[in-house]
Amino acid sequence: MSPNSLYGDLKGNAIVEFYNTKKKFYFIWFPFMLYNVVVGQRYINAVYRCFTFEPESRLACEIILNPNDKGIIGNLFNKKNYKIDEFSGAIYKVKPDFLKQLQQFHKYN
């Protein structure tokens, strides 16, 4: 929390199963910032990174939100120009050990 913003994250994660292939994709959600809590027009901005993975094919996708942002928390006296429409990412073929780590994180988050 800062004087005019709040940081939060979603608890629990989603699983999407496709009807025709029966493949399951697991999602680990991103944290978010709520800006202008006290003064100004309120808005929410997703920050940092999120993951989705499919264990059967050992594919993982990392999405980095606001990749050029040097820091996410400002204050009343230091206005930053946040761009809320930037992201980057990649799809990786991952090793089984990394996939196990993602599955454990998904299970306990």
Whole-number Å distance between alpha carbons of 16 and 75: 38
User: In the structure encoding, which two tokens stand for residue 63, read together?
Assistant: 């999405």
Whole-number Å distance between alpha carbons of 48 and 7: 11
Taking the CA atoms of residue 94, residue 32, residue 69 and residue 85 in that order, the dihedral angle to the nearest 10 degrees is 90
User: In the structure encoding, which two tokens stand for residue 55, read together?
Assistant: 């264990």
DSSP assignment letter at 75: B
Give me the tens of pLDDT residue by residue for the chain, a chain 109 residues long.
Answer: 677 888 888 777 789 999 999 999 999 888 888 888 888 888 887 778 888 999 999 999 998 887 766 554 444 444 555 555 778 889 999 999 999 988 888 877 6
